[in-house]
Structure 1
Amino acid sequence: MSLGLPVAATVNCVDNTGAKNLYIISVKGIKSCLNQSPSACVGDMVIATVKKGKPDLCKKVLPAVIVRQRKPWRRNIKSVYNSYTISFTHYFPLETYVRVLYIPKI
């Protein structure tokens, strides 16, 4: 699986929590290596902070799950945007729906 989103990436949020942009702080389950920045791919849980969105969510540190990435992780499939959905620490979603957009490469 291609690790397409390193730490310090800013991505869009695709749920109805009110957050617009998220900034990756760390990746869960990734150990540190010398001269390598931790990266994440689809399905990984990350710790992110809200950069744009509702005032009660801004500057909050929340866990999030990657639902799509721009870098191809299978053959001939490429999404247009990177995106996340915010969740609680116990893997329960914070929102009621997620807008997942699948755009195949033509």
Structure 2
Amino acid sequence: MSLSSLCPKFEKGMKMISQRWNGLIIYQLLNGPQRFCHIESSLPISGRLLSERLKELEHEGIIHRHVYPETPVRIEYSLTEKGQALESVLKGMEEWSQEWVELSDPKENK
């Protein structure tokens, strides 16, 4: 799929944020630096997929991976300035969701 000529930067940004789990990972990191196991326990995502998404977000410059020279090795993930700039977008989405999104009754899905 090619980027639209109308606003290719917006389209790329939407793809980045809307890729499955990326928005929730970024939202989780708004609380500050976190270790892999904390992020994994906070989201219903496999470790393999979380690792893949973290690498992609790091490649895009949205998160920073800090390896502490300790034994055992400790790794923390945090938002870069670029990632922190998404806070207003994600908080706005949260506010919109609280007002406009209705959850379906789990009994209806059976």
- Give the TM-score taking structure 2 as reference length: 0.22
Rg (Cα) greater in structure: 2
Comparing both structures, which one devotes a greater share of its residues to helix? 2
